[in-house]
Amino acid sequence: MTSDIHCVSSALASIKGIDYLSCDSLSSKETLALLELASQLKRGERRIDLGNRILGLIFNKASTRTRVSFQVAIARLGGQTVDLNPKISQLGRGEEIKDTARVLSRFCDVLAIRTYGQDEIDEYAHWASIPVINALTDLEHPCQALADFLTLQEAFGKDLTGLTLAYVGDGNNVAHSLMICGALLGVNVYIATPKGFEPNQNILFKANNLASSYGAKIQVFNDPFEAVRGANALYTDVWASMGQENEQKLRSQAFSGFCLDQKLLNEADKKAIVLHCLPAHREEEITTEVLEGNASRIFDQAENRLHVQQSLLAATLGGL
């Protein structure tokens, strides 16, 4: 065990001080080491005390899991959170990101930011002198993907190469991060969306490039049955993400046939697991039967947000 701990710590040394803006901010090796540390922390094999480090949270969008799991994660590392709620800070009155980022770098040790455009978080990272973590943008949700692949490891073992994860629904931020992180870990990621809701082409290009280096396949389908056939994990997310609420009705029509139900699950591998990042809309993108069924690992997946983010904070703050 001591040598495991030593290996993980040395593999994570390169992460100290980095920004985690996209799943490809980490290499394949670093991602695996981060998951290993998360699993050690979860099993209680490892305790890390970083001293009194301060995590600043800037959330321009609602959150339950990400906000709470980050707060608990830094508390378990001996640190504290400052919640920089944009509604009661000068951010809400239009103070520029470049000024906010430089000022907060004088008070905090790390920032976790949930916002709309990826360009906003990139700008924070450019101006901040402390690590910036993407807590969800319209383009990516990389912390979620870390928790998702830890959940896959718990179900299928540490080596995920050759497994297939099929995502059914909107080609959104969650799908994008699954494609990139899956490619890094050698997992085939099949995405089934209605026509017009496919993933971003640049992300697809990036994921395909990575996948070719790690022997994985990233494929986009418009037929959910084709995507899920024989898959080891089925995944879905809401059809209208935060900020798209006015499209809810239009999307409900466009996505008919893309509900993750028992019929789709029957097409997957017999031992397939079901994942959803939550929050879920029951009987829309997933049936209650599947969400609450035996194949569901959805609440383990939610718990794993805590462990991967604790691991990420410890590594970026360099406390290993």
Point out which span in 125-133, 169-177, 222-230, 252-260 binds ligand NVA (CB under 6 A): 169-177
Which tokens sit at 299? 């609440």
Q: What are φ and ψ of residue 198, in 5° steps?
A: -70, 160
- List CB contacts of 164: < 8 A, sequence separation 6 or more: 187, 188, 189, 190, 230, 231, 232, 233
Closer to ligand NVA by Cβ: residue 189 or 277:
277
Residues 41-100 that bind ligand NVA (CB under 6 A): none
Minimum distance, C-beta of residue 133 to ligand CP, in the bound complex (Å): 13
Point out which span in 29-37, 41-49, 63-71, 76-84 binds ligand CP (CB under 6 A): 63-71
Residues 104-163 that bind ligand CP (CB under 6 A): 136, 144
Question: Is 166 one of the binding residues for ligand CP (CB under 6 A)?
Answer: no
- List CB contacts of 52: < 8 A, sequence separation 6 or more: 78, 79, 80
Task: State which of residues 66, 193, 287, 311 lies at the interface with ligand CP (CB under 6 A).
Answer: 66
What are the beta bridge partners of residue 167? 191, 235
For residue 286, the one-letter residue type is: I
Point out which span in 167-175, 181-189, 222-230, 297-305 binds ligand NVA (CB under 6 A): 167-175
Question: Which residue out of 237, 251, 259, 310 is catalytically annotated?
Answer: 237
Question: Is 277 one of the binding residues for ligand CP (CB under 6 A)?
Answer: yes
Task: State which of residues 10, 52, 64, 85 lies at the interface with ligand CP (CB under 6 A).
Answer: 64
DSSP state of 64: S
Residues 136-155 that bind ligand NVA (CB under 6 A): 136
Rounded Cα distance, 261 and 267, in Å: 10
Question: Is 174 one of the binding residues for ligand NVA (CB under 6 A)?
Answer: yes
- Using CB distances below 5 to 8 A depending on partner kind, what does residue 173 bind out of ligand CP, ligand NVA, none? ligand NVA
Closer to ligand CP by Cβ: residue 25 or 137:
137
Residues in the chain: 320
Question: Is 309 one of the binding residues for ligand CP (CB under 6 A)?
Answer: no
Which tokens sit at 70? 């980050």
Closer to ligand NVA by Cβ: residue 174 or 314:
174
Burial 170-207 (b: 16+ CB within 10 A, else e): bbbbbbbbbbbbbbbbbbbbbbbbbeebbbbeebbebb
* Contact call for residues 228 and 255 (beta carbons, < 8 A): no
Question: Is 278 one of the binding residues for ligand CP (CB under 6 A)?
Answer: yes
Rounded Cα distance, 230 and 163, in Å: 10
Q: What are φ and ψ of residue 27, in 5° steps?
A: -80, 175
Does the active-site annotation cover 237? yes
Which tokens sit at 65? 């899991």
- Using CB distances below 5 to 8 A depending on partner kind, what does residue 64 bind out of ligand NVA, ligand CP, none? ligand CP
Could you list the active site residues? Answer: 114, 141, 144, 237, 277, 305
Site residues (vs ligand NVA, CB under 6 A)? 136, 172-174, 237-238, 241-242, 277
